Amino acid sequence: MKKLLQISLLFIVGLGASEPTHFVLDNGLKVIVLEKHTIPVAAVQVWYDVGSHDEWDGIRGTAHLFEHMMFRGSENIAPEEHARLINEVGGYNNAFTSDDVTVYHERLPAGELELALRLEAERMHLLKMSDEILATEREVVHEEYRQSTSNPIGKLFLKFRGKMYPEDHPYAVTPIGIMDQLDTISVKTCQTFYDLYYGPENATLVIAGDVDLENTRTLVEKYFGAVRPLGTLPKNPNLSVPEQTEKVVLNEKSSFDLPVTMMGFRVPGSAHDDIAALDVLSYILSNGESSRLNQTLVRDKQLALGAGGFPMAMKGPGIFIYFSFYFPQVSSSKIENAIMDIIEDVRINGVTTSELTKARKQMLAGKVFERYSANSLANSLGNAELIMGDYREFNREIDRFNAVTAEDVKRVANTYFVEEKMTIMHIAPEDLSFLKKCMFWIAGLFM
């Protein structure tokens, strides 16, 4: 019965979808097309192989700044007109910047595919820049930074993540950048960055949905074929890190009302064979109310109000982060020990068959729902190509986590989740006295 259910789910995942097709234009643009005619829309995504890890000291934040600049007009498209034209046909568009890539994406009626391709090709090589545009978008980034750091825990998370890498590592600064450096960036610097990275041979165009392959190929050739290549691409930065051999402890104070503990472990890049087992382990430890962290810290021991975790997968070494926010009368060392005890139990005793089966089902269900969305399909294909190194990994992801065994999970826990390879930050409220009095008073009502 279980086997039948799995087969049925896999059939649903593939329903209406062909195999992705890959071709390369003469100018070096990689194109991936996935026909899925059960979805009456088209998703168009342009993945540029440039992220914050490509920035050099003095221009931190430029990759993210360009995410905004690309909507400010090109030779034939007025500022903000790109978004307006997409919206007018009932579509949606946006962009995001990560450590490794910058992605521009549209979802629109399939019959409007040509519009999206024309607009994306236009800004790939005909972007307009000026002091006025730069000043406007720089202020937008400043506002985003203010919002992301207005939460005291958010601000400390940026510091915590930075401590997970050596100070001079490309990942030590997040994509939001350094505001003091952003303020010194000129139009000339922006033009240099654009000329270095924004070109066809440094991009992958992903199209998914109710599209015809041959018509799509013709349109791609029409609009992108004439875009001139950059010529010489910058050398990729070295993303390797020395092995951590000593635990790093950070103690901070914040205006947040509760104490928080965050702990992180460095793990390999997304293409590494151990990532599937680490993802399964993450589901078991930290995904949902039935996870080990939530069950132990929140329900059983009643030490915390919340506990969980998440992976930050990257092209280079990534991070697995676990966290808990807890009662003021509970010491940070007690929380740390409780989390490490949970991890140590996995390292010694492994995980149960039921936990492994449940994690696989949760991951499979997630993939099933993702593949009903043209955007999710395109995003998975782009991630496979740019982050994992091969778009065909898209079709292998379900097999990868289904192949994970209990021994694999135990092995990766022993390899990566060890105390001397941990960075931990304990965050205490600036004033605990009033909170402690309230907690003890409340506790007394139930004694």
Residue 231 in domain: no
Both 275 and 188 in a single domain?
Answer: no
Residue 6 in domain: no
Residue 237 in domain: no
Which two three-digit tokens encode residue 27? 């100018």
Placement of tokens 């936990």 in the chain? 355
Q: How far apart are CA 422 and CA 321, in angstroms?
A: 10
Both 168 and 256 in a single domain?
Answer: no
What does each of the 447 residues of the chain score in pLDDT, given as a tens digit? Answer: 444 445 444 544 444 567 999 999 999 999 999 999 998 999 999 999 999 999 999 999 999 999 999 999 999 999 999 999 999 999 999 999 999 999 999 999 999 999 999 999 999 999 999 999 999 999 999 999 998 888 888 889 999 999 999 999 999 999 999 999 999 999 999 999 999 999 999 999 999 999 999 999 999 999 999 999 999 899 999 999 999 999 999 999 999 989 999 999 999 999 999 999 999 999 999 998 889 999 999 999 999 999 999 999 999 999 999 999 999 999 999 999 999 999 999 999 999 999 999 999 999 988 888 888 999 999 999 999 999 999 999 999 889 989 999 999 999 999 999 999 999 999 999 876 544 544 444 444 333
Both 413 and 275 in a single domain?
Answer: yes
Range(s) of the domain holding residue 265:
248-445
Both 127 and 30 in a single domain?
Answer: yes
Both 368 and 298 in a single domain?
Answer: yes
Both 212 and 279 in a single domain?
Answer: no
Q: How far apart are CA 125 and CA 447, in angstroms?
A: 70
Task: For Cα atoms 173, 178, 180, give the angle at the middle one, nearest 5 degrees.
Answer: 155
Residue 393 in domain: yes
> To which H or E segment does residue 374 belong?
helix 374-386
Residue 9 in domain: no
Both 277 and 199 in a single domain?
Answer: no
Both 216 and 257 in a single domain?
Answer: no
Both 125 and 220 in a single domain?
Answer: yes
Residue 109 in domain: yes
pLDDT of amino acid 444? 45
Q: How far apart are CA 447 and CA 441, in angstroms?
A: 10
Which two three-digit tokens encode residue 393? 């990994």
Q: How far is CA 440 from the centre of its chain?
A: 41
Residue 66 in domain: yes
Structurally, how many domains does the chain consist of? Answer: 2
Residue 131 in domain: yes
Both 71 and 197 in a single domain?
Answer: yes
Both 186 and 45 in a single domain?
Answer: yes
Q: How far apart are CA 68 and CA 135, in angstroms?
A: 11
Q: Identify which of 52, 15, 51 has the alpha carbon closest to the alpha carbon of residue 35.
A: 15
pLDDT of amino acid 16? 52
Terminal Cα distance for the chain, rounded: 50
